[in-house]
Structure 1
Amino acid sequence: MIVYTVGTFDLLHVGHLALLEYCKSLGGVLAVGVASDRVVNSYKPNVPVIPLEQRMEMLRALRCVDIVRPYDELEYVSGCKELNADIFVIGEDWGKQPHNLAVESYLRSAGKQIKQVLYNPRTSSTTIKQNVRAQSSNMGNFKVVNG
């Protein structure tokens, strides 16, 4: 059984790990699609902090991940077909955009499963970035002393 999930995976954190470990528990092979900067920039205001190749390298290093593949178009049907995915795992923010509806239709017609998961409330890349910005702005209040 092949489980497929997709995401940006910028600033890898425990929420990502929980998602990936859950996905792995659903089947024998876990394939992870990683959005290119161009894809991310098509739906988010900023490109990822970590370059695509480094995000993929970090995911490949995880025991629970078997396949890592980039995707450069905001569509998921081709990845599901290429991998012959049995289960496609999506996040709670999955909407009714045409690319989402297309993969849902394909999965239903192919007798495949789609599972929606809630995000781990412990952390997010956005929260990490906000914390770093806040700490950086607070650093302006400190005097650096050489010594």
Structure 2
Amino acid sequence: MIIYTVGTFDLLHVGHLALLEYCKSLGGVLAVGVASDRVVNSYKPNVPVIPLDQRMEMLKALRCVDIVRPYDELEYVSGCKELNADVFVIGEDWGKQPHNLAVESYLKSAGKQIKQVLYNPRTSSSLIKKNVRSQPYYESKLNIVANN
């Protein structure tokens, strides 16, 4: 069985680990799609701070992850088809955008499963970034770097 999930995976944290370990617990091979910066820029206000190749490298190092692949278009059907995914795992913020509806339709017609999971409330990349920006030394360090 092949489990497939997708995300940005910027600033890898315990929420990411919980998701990936849950996916792996479903059994079989875990494949992870990692959004390129271009994809992220199309739907998020904050761009990743970690480059795509480094985000992929960190994911490949996790024992629960078997396959890591980038994706450069905001669509998931091609990844599910290429991997012959049996289960596609999505987050709680899954909406009714056309790219989401397309993969739901494909999975249903192919007799595949889609599982939705709740996010780990302990952390998020956005929260980490916000906390870093609020540090008193953050702005002074930026000024030092900018002036050099």
What's the TM-score once normalised by structure 1's chain length?
0.93
Aligned-residue offset at 1:124: 0.3
Aligned-residue offset at 1:61: 0.1
Q: Which residues of 2 match residues 13-32 of structure 1 at below 5 A? A: 13-32=13-32
Cα distance between partner residues in 1 of 2:120 and 2:136: 26
Cα distance between partner residues in 1 of 2:10 and 2:63: 18
Q: Cα deviation per residue 1:91-123 (whole Å; 9 max; x = unaligned)? A: 000000000000000000000000000000000
Q: Which residue of 1 aligns with 2:7?
A: 7
Cα distance between partner residues in 2 of 1:63 and 1:11: 18
Aligned-residue offset at 1:45: 1.5
User: Identity over aligned residues, as a percent?
Assistant: 90
Cα RMSD (Å): 1.1
SS in structure 2 at match of 1:131: helix
Cα distance between partner residues in 1 of 2:73 and 2:5: 15
Q: Which residue of 2 aligns with 1:101?
A: 101
Q: Which residue of 2 aligns with 1:44?
A: 44
Aligned-residue offset at 1:46: 2.5
What's the TM-score once normalised by structure 2's chain length?
0.92
Q: Which residue of 1 aligns with 2:146?
A: none
Aligned length: 140
Between structure 1 and structure 2, the one with the greater Rg is 1
Q: Which runs of 4+ in 1 moved over 2 A?
A: 136-140
1:132 aligns with 2:132: yes
Q: Which residue of 1 aligns with 2:143?
A: none
**Are the equivalent residues in 1 in contact too, given 2:15–2:123 (CA < 8 A)?**
yes
Q: Cα deviation per residue 1:4-30 (whole Å; 9 max; x = unaligned)? A: 000000000000000000000002100
Cα distance between partner residues in 1 of 2:17 and 2:25: 12
Q: Which residue of 2 aligns with 1:62?
A: 62
